Amino acid sequence: MPNNKNATIRYQALDKCFRNPGRRYFWKDLLDACNHALQEYDPGIAGIQRRQLLDDIRFMESEQGWSIPLERHKDGKRVYYRYEDMRFSINNQPINETESNQIKAALLVLSRFKGLPQFDWINEIIPRFEQSFNFRPESKEFIGFDHNEYLRGLDQIGDLFNAIMYRKVLSIKYKPFLAPEAIAFLIYPYYLKQYNSRWFLFGFNPELDKITNLALDRIESIEETGVNYNPSFVFDFQDYFEDIVGVSRSENDQPVKVELFVTNQLVPYIQTKPLHGSQKRISQLEDGQIFSLFVIPNYELEQLILSHGEKIRVLSPDNFRERIRSRLREALKAYQPI
């Protein structure tokens, strides 16, 4: 669970304690309340210690927090905490500076979707937020995203997004690049993913009885059906993508250890932008380094390796090494004199 979510849960727990007139909350009681709230949300999460508790209280009292009117009352050698005004709550206060900055950052991300079908509401809501939070975008942009506005299929994102959100089974006409004509089939849409500036829909195909991915630029039409959506189907897409580069994998594929030689010229780039999350450095050689990946070799991994040309060499496994060699031989043939 992200740290900002942890903090929100703790602030809410402390707020309830501070405005409870029927009990005195000493620091140990507050600590127990925070940890209990965290455990309720996620039983596997580790609790916080006294130092974090005191930091949370200081933040809530600060201008960056909510400037809470907190009193400290002595009870012998101990101190309990309570709001000066029991009607006070952080939930009744205007947003603080930190929250305002977070909303501004969110507006920048939302603005990427302006102009897309089904996202017209963004064109209306962003000006309201800008007025409410006194946020005016700079006339000169200071952040950019990799986006191909001319890509086919972008107009489908809104419909597919809604179908996933509202659990609609779709009938899709899809034309693979090498197929003579489009084919129609049912799909239970579950997930949208962008890779290499292209969008893909992942869903369950009942005819194939498996998850399949469809490139949006090859979808010719989308229609809602009256078929009941299966709410019991559960699929972990984080796990699905963990062992691959890109979006392609077969149902029974298993990850293997791929060893790569990387020249000294390319090593800094590979270290700062790993080819895959499993990347590890194995050894240092005079003219480069050897890295390993634990992945399912697929077309996207081939493309990624080939994009680095002579600066990467596949060492193992043999079948993947031969696949890369074969593609390089074919590429060399294309440059032979006619």
The model's pLDDT over 154-182, given as tens digits with 9 standing for 90+, comes to: 888 888 988 998 899 999 999 988 888 99
Predicted confidence band of residue 36 (pLDDT cuts 50, 70, 90): very high
Predicted confidence band of residue 3 (pLDDT cuts 50, 70, 90): low
Q: Which of 221, 220, 296, 306 is closest to 258 using CA atoms?
A: 296
Q: What is the pLDDT of residues 309-334, one digit of tens each?
A: 999 999 999 999 999 999 999 999 99
Predicted confidence band of residue 148 (pLDDT cuts 50, 70, 90): confident
d(CA 171, CA 193): 20
What mean pLDDT comes out for the span 235-258?
Answer: 91
Q: What is the pLDDT of residue 165?
A: 87
Q: Contact 304/262 with Cβ under 8 angstroms?
A: no
Q: Contact 88/19 with Cβ under 8 angstroms?
A: yes
Q: What is the pLDDT of residue 169?
A: 94
Compute the residue count for the chain. Answer: 338
pLDDT for residue 94 is more than 90: no
Which amino acid, one-letter code, is at 59? F
d(CA 76, CA 83): 20
- Beta partners for residue 184, in sequence order: 173
Angle between helices 27-41 and 3-18 (to 10 degrees): 130
Kindly state the DSSP code that residue 160 receives in the 8-state scheme. Answer: H
Domains and CATH numbers, the chain: 3-92 (1.10.10.10), 97-132 (no CATH), 154-242 (2.30.30), 256-334 (3.30.70)
Question: What are the Cα distances from residue 104, in Å, to 3, 93, 97, 150, 258?
Answer: 19, 18, 11, 27, 42
Q: What is the pLDDT of residue 219?
A: 94
What mean pLDDT comes out for the span 215-229?
Answer: 91
DSSP secondary structure of 47-75: ---HHHHHHHHHHHHSTTTT---EEEEEE
d(CA 169, CA 9): 36
Q: What is the pLDDT of residue 120?
A: 59
Predicted confidence band of residue 2 (pLDDT cuts 50, 70, 90): very low
Predicted confidence band of residue 105 (pLDDT cuts 50, 70, 90): confident
Q: Which residue has the higher pLDDT, 269 or 147?
A: 269
Q: Which residues contact residue 218 at a Cβ distance below 8 angstroms, ignoring those fewer than 6 apart?
A: 153, 174, 175, 176, 177
| Token output for 266 | 């390319």
pLDDT for residue 132 is more than 80: no
What mean pLDDT comes out for the span 301-314?
Answer: 97
Q: Which residues contact residue 6 at a Cβ distance below 8 angstroms, ignoring those fewer than 6 apart?
A: 38, 45
Kindly state the DSSP code that residue 32 receives in the 8-state scheme. Answer: H
Q: What is the pLDDT of residue 1?
A: 37
86-100, 136-150, 210-224, 271-285: the lowest-pLDDT one = 136-150
Q: Which residues contact residue 296 at a Cβ distance below 8 angstroms, ignoring those fewer than 6 apart?
A: 243, 244, 249, 253, 254, 255, 256
DSSP secondary structure of 311-335: GEEEEE-HHHHHHHHHHHHHHHHHT
Which amino acid, one-letter code, is at 175? K
Q: Which residue has the higher pLDDT, 138 or 295?
A: 295
Q: What is the mean pLDDT of the chain?
A: 87
Helix (H, G, I), strand (E, B) or coil at 85: coil
Q: What is the pLDDT of residue 123?
A: 59
233-242, 283-292, 297-306, 315-324: the lowest-pLDDT one = 233-242
DSSP secondary structure of 231-243: TT----HHHHHHT
Q: What is the Rg, in whole angstroms, of the alpha carbon atoms belonging to the chain?
A: 27
